[in-house]
Structure 1
Amino acid sequence: MVLGCNQSNSATEFILAGFPNLNGTRVELFSVFLLVYLLTLTGNVLIVGVVGVDTRLQTPMYFFLGNLSCLEILLTSVIIPKMLNNFLSRQYTISFAACVTQFYFYFCLGASEFLLLAVMSVDRYLAICHPLRYPLLMSGAVCFRVALACWMGGLLPVLGPTVAVALLPFCKQSAVVQHFFCDSGPLLRLACTSTEKLEKTDFALASLVIVSSLVTTAASYGHIIRAVLRIPSVSGRQKAFSTCTSHLMVVTLFYGSAIFLYVRPSQSGSVESNWSVTVITTFVTPLLNPFIYALRNEGVQEALKDMFRKIAMESFGNLSLAKTFHKKTGR
């Protein structure tokens, strides 16, 4: 039942409240978040580029890392540019269509990332615990189908709830989203009709995706740790545990913040503390992922050095050709 507004009076735009209690730190926060965003883009673009061009990295692990970097680039770009614009602008509005679009892509890309993290953990489990069968189990065709399933697994299930949100009436007099983007809880709180069924649907979908992904990831790393403990070399165990610890740190941050935000029956009541926890999934983990999963890897470092060396040589060659042409033609 609609309470206090009808479809003709429904809001056509929202105001994003942003971060609370800035107290004159708007420019400083803008600078910090812009730097983090640029570093995130740089790190993930480098991974996508080097995985795509270096034949030494044409393996399942790096293929999935490339997909993870693509997801991080898209996920952060859905949220951060608009947020940065609001830091410097006096117009904090976002159109209804842009808000629903942001809602859809944030959650579908996030769901795809959870599924991909689970697949990556299974890939590492198979590589470490079943090395002889690994090439057959994770062939190129299998990797492509699995990655496609991860992308589709995020794009399709979120479509229904997004359409339901788009059809909700939002009253003009209270169209202030208490967040820096169109998140589920703050947005549903503005609806002037009951959202209980939609909240239960969101809870069920979030629980299914996040919890199943978490269980798969935890089980895979559990088997990996058991295999690492059997390594006779102390230095080998230490190196393996160092890698596992870094991965688990990122996974814990990502899953922990997502469970806190979305695996709860009521979304519309969780507004005040959401923005600070969302910073972890929007800024921290996308920044850490390239360094934890790839840029610390010796194979990736060598591939990056070769790629930059090749680019430098080509640039130098083009410059030499230009100088020679200039001398011969006098142009």
Structure 2
Amino acid sequence: MSGDKSVSFTNCMSQMYIFSSLTCNELLILTAMSYDRYVAICNPLHYHMIMNNGICLALAASCWALGFMEVVPHMLAISRFSCYKSNEINHYFCDILPIMKLSCSDTTLLRMIIFIEGLLLVSFTPFLLTFISYVFIIATILRIRSSSGRRKAFYTCSSHLTVVIILYLSLVCQYLRPSSTDTLDSNKVFSLFNTAAVPVLNPFIYSLKNKDVKTAARKQLKSLMT
């Protein structure tokens, strides 16, 4: 807003840590939510006993703690960089990949950490757990005899599933593209979608299940049409 595009190295590292941690937190929280949907659909009679306040608090605290801890090795590896090709980042915020490409230091350790911890632990494990939850959820829904029952069960997890699909698709496009198409300019486009479009869409996706919101939306559309 001020027009000043400069940022200190400390602030850049802080921004990178916070952004990466919150991304990890979001993936872990969505994984916990998939377990919640699994319990709600596959064990509805025991839902309140299984997903009690203590379990919900433990899941939320674990997601936040792990999210902020998992990024620490990335930051330690980046802090060891002693040489950069330029002091200008071809990005609109401090992200790991642009900083890594800008460095002329050895990035082997950071690439290894990104692959082992970033892809396998932060991305693949939450995705696998979410996928397994939805395998059981879909299997349970298909066993419901009435079409209204199946529709109601699917409606229960539709918002969460939509958010999961959008987020993982954006992350795949941003971080797992072939090297031949992996340019900083294209990375900025996917980063913008991931950091701006996805958070804006989330409230609309979740609130569309709310009857009051849908009623208000219909009234607003009718007033605009008349």
TM-score when normalising by structure 1: 0.58
Residue type matched to 1:183 in 2?
D
Any idea what the Cα deviations from partners look like across 1:181-227, whole Å, max 9, x if unmatched?
A: 11111111121211111111122212111111111111212221222
Deviation of the 1:159 alpha carbon: 1.5
| Structure-2 residue corresponding to 1:131 | 44
* 1:114-125 equivalence runs, <5 A: 114-125=27-38
CA distance in 2, matches of 1:106, 1:114: 13
CA distance in 1, matches of 2:72, 2:178: 20
Check conservation: 2:37, 2:156, Cα contact below 8 A: no
CA distance in 2, matches of 1:259, 1:193: 26
Q: Please identify, of 157-166 and 255-264, the stretch whose mean Cα deviation from structure 2 is larger.
A: 255-264
Any idea what the Cα deviations from partners look like across 1:10-63, whole Å, max 9, x if unmatched?
A: xxxxxxxxxxxxxxxxxxxxxxxxxxxxxxxxxxxxxxxxxxxxxxxxxxxxxx
Gap change, CA 1:203 and 1:287, over 3 Å in 2: same
Say which of 129, 151, 156 aligns to 1:238: 151
CA distance in 1, matches of 2:171, 2:144: 34
Check conservation: 2:70, 2:122, Cα contact below 8 A: no
Q: Which SS does the other structure have where 1:192 is aligned?
A: coil
Q: Which SS does the other structure have where 2:184 is aligned?
A: coil
CA distance in 2, matches of 1:252, 1:113: 13
Q: 1:109 aligned to 2:22?
A: yes
Check conservation: 1:185, 1:270, Cα contact below 8 A: no
Check conservation: 1:200, 1:265, Cα contact below 8 A: no
Q: Which SS does the other structure have where 2:7 is aligned?
A: strand
Q: 1:273 aligned to 2:186?
A: yes
Deviation of the 1:100 alpha carbon: 0.4
Q: Which SS does the other structure have where 2:99 is aligned?
A: helix
CA distance in 2, matches of 1:145, 1:247: 20
* 1:86-101 equivalence runs, <5 A: 89=3, 91-101=4-14
Residue type matched to 1:277 in 2?
F
TM-score when normalising by structure 2: 0.83
Instruction: Figure out how many residues of one structure are paired with residues of the other and give that number.
Output: 212
Deviation of the 1:233 alpha carbon: 3.0
Where relative contact order (Cα < 8 A, 6+ residues apart) is larger, the structure is 1
Say which of 178, 189, 192 aligns to 2:90: 178
Say which of 237, 244, 252 aligns to 2:165: 252
Give structure 1 stretches of 5+ with no counterpart.
1-84, 303-331
Q: Indicate the RMSD between aligned Cα atoms, in angstroms.
A: 2.6
Deviation of the 1:299 alpha carbon: 6.8
| Structure-1 residue corresponding to 2:72 | 159
| Structure-2 residue corresponding to 1:192 | 104
CA distance in 1, matches of 2:211, 2:122: 32
CA distance in 1, matches of 2:158, 2:58: 29
Name the larger-Rg structure.
1
| Structure-1 residue corresponding to 2:203 | 290
Residue type matched to 1:108 in 2?
S
Check conservation: 2:33, 2:160, Cα contact below 8 A: no
